[in-house]
Structure 1
Amino acid sequence: MNEDERAELDRLVPGPARPELSADRHRLLRGHLMSEIRETKPARARRGRLGWVALPALAGGLALALALTNGGGDGAPAPQQQARQAPQDTQAQPAPQQSTGTLNAAPVGALQLLSQAADTAAGKPDPKPGKGQFVYVESLVAFGSSNIATGESKVDPAHRRQIWLSVDGSQWGVLKEGQGQGGKPNAPEKVKPGEPAPRADGGMWLDPNTRPGLNAPTYAYLATLPTDPDALLKKIYTETKGMGPGPDQEAFVTIGDVLREQIAPPAVSAALYRAAAKIPGVTVVDDSVDASGRHGVAVARVDGGIRTEWIFDPKTHEFLGERTVVAAEGNDFGKPGTVTGHSAVLASTVVDQPGEEPQQKNA
């Protein structure tokens, strides 16, 4: 291709709609799909068998990059799992919407469930962590992949993920993923200037978060958010403008990322649920299963033929985890009902040191 042809191609084919993940953001959300995007450096790819690429898993920030492009890899992928069949939505899915930014109420079923989840969140005690403390979240996560050549899809076995995040972002955090539950331990990385010495427990250091935002929040940042749902949702639309497949889906997965791997003051958590109820296209799935096998009722939204589900305990309305499922025929990721990824929150609390595990786990 000559220079004139290349210039014409550049003119006709637009560049990417959103920037790549920064190295810091990727380190924080390592191992997941559909990047949350902040700045310059591209996300690293997981390696594995030639031909396999990542499927949408845990939509939004926790996301896998395109992967698996050489045969050397870290070892053969885990055996294929049978995909679970997902139930149908109890509400008819509305036609896809263009950029909205409007504050529309969800269907009654979703509105009721999110209101119940908001009430549960509002009734929890405020942890009021100190600046020197850390948010600790333990979860099980499982990701999907598909073989380009054969069309075969699979979800890897769930593995343990632990993360410690500085409450105010001023200190180094820690990520431990894979140890002891079927996953691979974090690969050692080159020590950066100013980074603490490598950890004996195999944990990976996470950079201090000096510029928190909705796509990489700290507890201190979340504590500053408005507790009025309309004002909060407007802020989410504003700060995520131009990101993701569209404003409504980006708002939905942004809230989901906070639910899955952060702690917020009770009033803010409640406002996040009530804000989610105002996003167009939100429905209910009567039965969903998280990565630990717990059944629950889910709030869901379909985008690009993939349904993202937030799973709640049907009695307490506590957030259990998240699942992504193929929702439409003709999808490259499999037949309708194919699970492309799931997670389960096992513990979330505040601790004094990175790497410290709580004596009692509070889901």
Structure 2
Amino acid sequence: MSIDPKRPEPAEREELARLLPLAPERELSGRHQRALRDQLLREFRQDSAGGARPRLKVRHLKVAALPLAAGALALTLATSGVFGQEGGTTVSGTGTTAAPGGKAPATTAAAVVLLDRIATVAASRPAFTVRDDQYVYVASKVAWSVQTDDDPLMRLDTPHSRKVWFSVDGSRAGLLHEKGKRIPLGGDLDKDGNPVPGDEPGNPSPNLNNPTYRYLETLPTDPEALLEKIYDETAGSGPGPDQEAFVTIGDLLREQIAPPEVSAALYKAAALVPGVTVVDDSVDAAGRHGVAVARVHAGQRTEWIFDRRTLEFLGERGVMLEDSPEGRRGQITATTAILKRGITDRPGELPARTG
């Protein structure tokens, strides 16, 4: 697969000019960000003068059919895999219409710039210091769509609190608190929150669809190498290689903590996936507005929402862009909001430090 982000159209130039100041601190952009801005300005001038249109050369990636990503979304939205809402939003660029020959449209220049800024900010954040016997804690507010045999329409659940504790190295059982239930993850826990002796460890074989913090530490920090790993290791089935790659990256960013350099690489890898666009205004499950990075697949849109000022990851949402037997245009299919992340010494404990 050749990855070749398209050059900005006139309408996108205005959008880029608005998006470029998004970084909260000028020094966060760094040399790479200044070079990217200079390059875009040069291209704008060349295009206005009728000059040649340069191409970004990127090595080809080996791709195949991909399976549906695991996790809570896969359990409830196995046929959609999206987070997005159409009402009240504007998609920048023209990357939502299928290209000739059925190929995915190019990722818009606005999305490339925004993801580069998000990656720069993510790389600048301090890393957590963690021990193997500790737990990653993530608190969120979520609502998933469900279907039943009696009702084929997707029905969005009521937004509710969700808290998870994942073993840092996967050697211990985790814990989920949701809808008043206390659910062990990867083995049973006793009344004190400790693994029951003799049970299988919590996550002895972590992977892209079921990672641990230690697993995330091993991922490549080169965006192209990381994206090739995602394409290769999720090959087999699913809605399509590009959509599956986008959803997998979103899963890795949502309900885990990744080292700063890995988070940055994931955002830059997302910019290499064809068909990624920007949504000017999106709202997470907590009602927070932000700018979103999005991708459309099979009439539905996946959005990752970020704080417009700090570029902090807020959450995700999903929308149907076309009528279907499962729902109607504009229907929200899922919504999430990340409220807190941190490290604890045991499942069920709240962290002293959050991020």
Aligned match of 1:162 = 163
The question of 1:59 aligning with 2:52 is answered no
Compute the displacement of 1:119 (Å). Answer: 1.0
Distance, in Å, in 1 between the alignment partners of 2:350 and 2:273 is: 36
Distance, in Å, in 2 between the alignment partners of 1:212 and 1:98 is: 37
Aligned match of 1:253 = 247
Any stretches of 5+ residues in structure 1 without a counterpart? 1-16, 36-53, 63-82, 180-184
Distance, in Å, in 2 between the alignment partners of 1:237 and 1:152 is: 31
Q: Is the 8 A contact 2:108 2:276 kept in 1?
A: yes
Distance, in Å, in 1 between the alignment partners of 2:306 and 2:295 is: 15
Query: Once the two structures are aligned, what percentage of the paired residues are identical?
Result: 48
Aligned match of 1:124 = 125
Q: Is the 8 A contact 1:33 1:58 kept in 2?
A: no
Compute the displacement of 1:89 (Å). Answer: 1.5
Aligned residue pairs: how many?
Answer: 285
Distance, in Å, in 2 between the alignment partners of 1:227 and 1:20 is: 24
Classify the secondary structure of the residue corresponding to 2:132. Answer: coil
The question of 1:336 aligning with 2:324 is answered no
Aligned match of 1:10 = none
Distance, in Å, in 2 between the alignment partners of 1:155 and 1:341 is: 7
Distance, in Å, in 1 between the alignment partners of 2:266 and 2:68 is: 26
- Cα distance change, pair 147–168 in 1 and its aligned pair in 2 (3 A): closer
Q: 2:319 aligns with which of 313, 316, 325?
A: 325
Distance, in Å, in 1 between the alignment partners of 2:177 and 2:143 is: 15
Q: 1:88 aligns with which of 72, 87, 90?
A: 90
Classify the secondary structure of the residue corresponding to 1:119. Answer: helix
1:343-358 paired onto structure 2 within 5 Å? 343-358=336-351
Any stretches of 5+ residues in structure 2 without a counterpart? 1-64, 194-198
Q: Is the 8 A contact 2:305 2:316 kept in 1?
A: yes
TM-score, normalised to structure 2, is: 0.71
Aligned match of 1:273 = 267
1:133-152 paired onto structure 2 within 5 Å? 133-145=134-146
Aligned match of 1:73 = none
Classify the secondary structure of the residue corresponding to 1:34. Answer: helix
Aligned match of 2:174 = 173
Classify the secondary structure of the residue corresponding to 2:118. Answer: helix
Question: Looking at both structures, which has the greater relative contact order when contacts are Cα pairs under 8 Å and sequence separation is at least 6?
Answer: 2
Aligned match of 2:230 = 236
Compute the displacement of 1:107 (Å). Answer: 1.1
Q: Is the 8 A contact 2:77 2:144 kept in 1?
A: yes
Distance, in Å, in 2 between the alignment partners of 1:213 and 1:307 is: 25
Q: Is the 8 A contact 1:118 1:274 kept in 2?
A: yes
Compute the displacement of 1:332 (Å). Answer: 2.5
- Cα distance change, pair 98–351 in 1 and its aligned pair in 2 (3 A): farther
RMSD: 3.4
Q: Is the 8 A contact 1:57 1:342 kept in 2?
A: no
TM-score, normalised to structure 1, is: 0.69
Aligned match of 1:221 = 215
Q: Is the 8 A contact 2:106 2:275 kept in 1?
A: no
Q: Is the 8 A contact 1:86 1:337 kept in 2?
A: no
